[in-house]
Amino acid sequence: MSTEYEVTIEPFAERHYIKTFAKKYKKAWNFTLNVLMEEFKKFDVLLLKTIAEEITDRNADVVICKTEFKISGTQESRHGSGNRCIVAKHKNTNKVCVLLVYHKNDLGGGNETVNWKNVIKENYPEYGNLL
């Protein structure tokens, strides 16, 4: 049986890029976000598939994870869409905190992983030491 997580979207994530998705995709974004929230409630199931990966130490209480998603109604694959979520999975409290929802072009040029890690470090001091 998998753990049921409480899912929260951090205010920074809400202000950065989520608004862009909402404006660009309107109703499709609302549906997509609802699907993501449901998937994140059963986060451990996502890790069994290739659409989520643990970035930091999987044995720690807090694990930074990266997932891929597609916008509902589009023909793109999750991976091909370039849409990603960075979340912090808190094992001891059964919480998943959505830290960043972005399209890889949102972060500028260069190495995508380096870019999102820098955004997390700059805006979430509580998680910076994990990266």
Q: Is residue 131 part of a domain?
A: no
Q: Do the beta carbons of residue 28 and residue 58 sit within 8 Å?
A: no
Distances (CA, A) of 8 to 72, 88, 95, 96: 21, 10, 8, 6
- What is the pLDDT averaged over residues 44-48? 92
The answer to whether residue 61 is domain-embedded is: yes
Phi, psi at residue 54, to the nearest 5°? -85, 125
Residue 111 domain-assigned (yes or no): yes
Q: What percent of the chain has pLDDT over 70?
A: 99
pTM of the predicted structure, to 2 decimals: 0.95
Q: For the ranges 1-5, 87-91, 106-110, which has the lowest average pLDDT?
A: 1-5
Q: Is residue 120 part of a domain?
A: yes
**For range 113-128, the mean pLDDT:** 96
